[in-house]
Amino acid sequence: MGFSSYSTARTAGLVRSGAERATLVRRTYSVVFASVLLTVVGAWVGLSNESIMQAVARHPFISAILWFSPLLIARGARVATPQRLGLVLVFAFASGVLYSPLLYVYNARQPGVVGQAAALTLGAFGILTAYAWTSRRDFSAWGSFFAVGLLVLIGTSLLNLFFQNQTASLWIAAATVLVFSGLLVFDTWRIRNQYGPDEYVGAAVQLYLDLLNMFLAVLQLLGGGRRN
């Protein structure tokens, strides 16, 4: 499971016109697209260089710290938007490198499974995004509900590290898809109703993390729950 972070949007920066909303949407999804593209590039770099994959596999904790550090720095209150955007894009590239050994293992066992997982994830992303934008429902309660679900998932995933139960891994992966699908709808609703015009970087990070975690869970389901 990847990382996820949720924060309350500042009400002082609320979008107040159609033009502002259009700008917010354009900027947000541009950053999401660029992040996904850089993740693919990072994965390609890792898969193309055996020494990089071996270094990541041998030092997972150090790799995770290096991967997560740009996002932590980007969350700083004193970091300007251009620098924050750059750090987020570095984080996206590092995500591809970090997960390249996992992609290699899955694709070696089941050729084509990574592409299938990517196609299913992007399809679900499109459907859920369209639903969140066209629905007139108030999704504000979904945030706390699925945030609790995320905490439960993290707890059960940590427990399963000790038991190594493949059936439990599949159930956890299925629940992960459900939780991040709900969070994707909630985060999209926040873009429409809560985020301000200058908060596109934070909004894009939320969507990117939803998408990343959904992809990893779908990949695990298609791969039969094996992650070693």
Looking at residue 97, what is its pLDDT?
Answer: 96
Amino acid at residue number 223: G
Q: Is the pLDDT of residue 106 over 50?
A: yes
Q: What is the arithmetic mean of pLDDT over 74-79? A: 81
Q: What is the arithmetic mean of pLDDT over 53-71? A: 91
Res. 6 pLDDT band, cuts 50 70 90: very low
pLDDT tens figures, 193-222: 888 888 899 999 999 999 999 999 999 999
Which of 150-154, 200-204, 224-228 has the highest average model confidence (pLDDT)?
Answer: 200-204
Res. 12 pLDDT band, cuts 50 70 90: very low
Looking at residue 141, what is its pLDDT?
Answer: 85
Q: Write down the pTM of the prediction.
A: 0.88
Q: What is the arithmetic mean of pLDDT over 15-26? A: 80
* Distance (Å, whole) CA 156 – CA 166: 13
Q: What are phi and psi of 112, to 5 degrees?
A: 90, -5
Res. 2 pLDDT band, cuts 50 70 90: low
pLDDT higher for 78 or 38?
Answer: 38
Q: What is the arithmetic mean of pLDDT over 86-111? A: 95
Looking at residue 123, what is its pLDDT?
Answer: 96
